[in-house]
Structure 1
């Protein structure tokens, strides 16, 4: 997930004038904050995580700011929030989620208490309609959706809400472009309204919210087989991915899958689909590769799943990396392995979601969700009272209820003594952690066939 502050805005309130900094997430407006609000947020983060865990905050100015100073501060604040948002311990904490949710609500203060209908779609494009308002974050809306379709509440953590752009392709085949996973620091209603207002009236209805799996580990599918509602959700996702070519099947397999679909044998359909290439992977829209070893503007397709990011060129199984990342990865591997290799033979494996810069740890394993949950709880249950500072300087307490839901395989629970014995707490070392080493868990060589 990418945070940015591309612009500022001058606000006049009576005889007072102040500057606000407009925070965007993946190119979409989220909230508007003053410098002192962000400084107050920084002070509370220091209480929770310690000063060594945070970058330097832009210093205060005691004289009025001119345009040069405002631009300098904008750039410094943008760098600050980008570094902070790359720390999984911070971004999954209650103080981080509570602050950004309150900031979004204050930036849309005229709309937060008004109840409105919102449609959430499964991948048969049938809407699930419910009433909500700007006070409800993504977790609460997801729970209401699952209750509406009567899903077993134990299976709610297996799913998440995603913001997408719907695309009607050739022969009226319906696909979508993934924008990002909706986080607990935002209201789905406010986020959807913001992006629709940004687009032209003719196209705003193409932006919508869908419900789909929140994990990559296909073994977790088995936990849902006895829940007909949850089973239907992953079945519709499998059908959509196969019909749009995101899961690669041969002609005979397509025939068998179509036969199972006609029989409405959803369980056997999923079991067969699970054996196919790229099942459980997230598929990105096609783009152009910039590697100098390939022809200019080579069309590639990206797949994220199974703890790896694959860039597939010319329908071959070559695994590539972008040129801008090549030198850093090579340097780290040369130090680790002591040998040279061809960049086309790299498989990049992540300890968080491979597409975390786009959708913020979009789909991660059950073990990683437990680790993040424990780290967040360890820092949020420390006796501090968190407050949100409004633009007018007044403050109100933030809710400190845990916003991270634990997802653990039902089958793995039977083989463990307890959740506390299963998870070893990960301690954050003093000082800033190298973002590169934090993002990559394992980098392995693959054959250049």
Structure 2
């Protein structure tokens, strides 16, 4: 996650006095607005819990009112402090830090704690309405959705909540995966834009985990709906023959076989990002990036309109970084961001082992740069878990034992009953998810649609740029 404090504000207090507020942005979006004293309180609490040797240095107090130059210096120092906290494996994952961020988010948006209904979308367009508190964190909401769907506890960890923006013609932009330090209801409602909503999607990359999910009826339905949706969007490439086979399996209701066939297709399980800019293989190239299968896949349009395809494996990335900068909407001032509106420019850069002895930096300029970084990190985390003999189920069990997933009695009281196949015959009957998903068709999917997107029938296997040979992997 990318933490920054790109700006400050002078605000009025309750007694009419003024104070400097520091706007904390997460992934380039305002998360909360806090005072220096609030961050100092957080620092003192963390120092008390973890000791002076663990906590990073905090900007000192000042006796007199700060000058503009001193405010700017403190802003930079607080930004580095927040980044250091988050990057520390112990402090960044602490409940003290995450709780502070959640409370600050709620206070900034001035949303009181109360019972509300929140709509969470499924891949097939169905909406699941859950009764929650506005102060419920991401894990609470995820559990509420799982309960409503009747998804078993041991499969909850296979799914996550994502914030997406709906575009034209069914397109969608993945903004971010909702984190443990935010309140989903506050995050989506504070945007004041109906195009943004929360969607439930699988959160793992290795398709071998699909077998675990498909053993459960609800898990199978969710995975099936996501697969159909990804095919319809053109995220998964399908030729005419494969389309016929998928259509036949769908008509037979053979969901497992449908998914297993889809697993053999290019870009199964990938997240596709909006068109953006890269400096590889040349500066200023337009590129479509997809993340999946422990790689970033590139489909590049060169300045001479030639098309190239390639992939970058995370196992060959030495490191990566995300940088943000303020870009003025209009020109003509030495310090434009202090007087006119600015846009945030985000870049993801990774150092890649092109050949045995050659490392090269590759840069992607995209509003989704942080989402790409999150995908890379989760791929690495998943590989490390597998290498150590762990699993998603073991991770989930550990988190439960550590108490990271919790719900008070009052929160339990507003949980909704399961949506699927309730054994309570006295309850009003609702449409089963399995029925809803069976109605999802492959309309709009054809070889020509795929060809217009990413080479369609000509896409055979994993391509690599010159200098990235299979022998090097």
Q: Say yes or no: TM over 0.5.
A: yes
Q: Output the CA distance in 2 between the equivalents of 1:90 and 1:249.
A: 45
Q: Which has the higher contact order (CA 8 A, sep 6+)?
A: 1
What pairs up with 1:173-188 in 2 under 5 angstroms?
174-188=170-184
RMSD: 3.6
1:147 is the counterpart of 2:147: yes
Give the alignment partner of residue 292 of structure 2, picking from 297, 301, 305: 305
Instruction: Return the alpha-carbon distance in structure 2 between the equivalents of residues 372 and 84 of structure 1.
Output: 23
Helix, strand or coil: the match of 2:77? helix
Sort the Cα spacing of 1:221 and 1:328 in 2 relative to 1 into closer, same or farther, 3 A: closer
Say if 2:209 is the partner of 1:225.
no
Task: Note if contact 1:326-1:343 (Cα within 8 Å) is conserved in structure 2.
Answer: no
Structure 2 equivalent of residue 124 of structure 1: 124
Identify the residue that residue 340 of structure 1 maps to in structure 2: 357
Partner of 2:463: none
The Cα shift of 1:131 comes to: 2.3
Match of 1:387 in 2: none
After TM superposition, the structure 1 stretch with the greater mean CA deviation from structure 2, 355-364 or 253-262, is 355-364
CA distance in 2, matches of 1:117, 1:143: 14
Gaps of 5+ in 1: 197-203, 347-352, 382-400, 405-444
The Cα offsets for residues 13-66 of structure 1, whole Å up to 9 and x where unpaired, read as 215332221112223222121112112222333344554544322222121112
Aligned to 1:447: 469
Alpha-carbon distance in structure 2 between the residues aligned to 1:301 and 1:137: 33
Q: Which residue of 2 aligns with 1:13?
A: 14
The whole-number CA distance in structure 2 between the counterparts of 1:60 and 1:69 is: 11
1: CA distance, partners of 2:257 / 2:400: 40
Contact 1:93 1:377 in 2 (8 A): no
Distance 1:188 1:52 in 2: 34
The structure-2 alpha-carbon separation of the partners of 1:102 and 1:328, relative to structure 1 and needing over 3 Å to count, comes to closer
* Structure 1 pair 52–106 and aligned structure 2 pair: CA distance change class (3 A): same
Q: How does 1:365-444 map to 2 (within 5 A)?
A: 365=382, 367=390, 401-403=403-405
Secondary structure (helix, strand or coil) at the match of 1:312 reads strand
- What is the TM-score when the length of structure 2 is the normalising length? 0.68
Shift of 1:8: 1.9
d(CA) in 2 for partners of 1:358, 1:49: 27
User: Is 1:189–2:185 an aligned residue pair?
Assistant: yes
Q: Residue 157 of structure 2 corresponds to which residue in structure 1?
A: 157
SS in 2 for 1:135: coil
- The 1:301–1:48 alpha-carbon spacing in structure 2 relative to 1, beyond 3 Å, is farther
Counterparts of 1:38 and 1:284, CA distance in 2: 35
Name the CA distance, whole Å, in 1 between partners of 2:359 and 2:18.
57
* Unmatched segments (≥5 aa) in structure 2: 301-306, 324-346, 363-368, 407-466
* TM-score, normalization by structure 1: 0.71
Measured after TM superposition, the shift of residue 127 of structure 1 is 0.8
Note closer, same or farther for the CA distance 1:371–1:46 as it changes in structure 2 (3 Å cut).
farther
Q: Which moves more between the two structures, 314-323 or 73-82?
A: 314-323
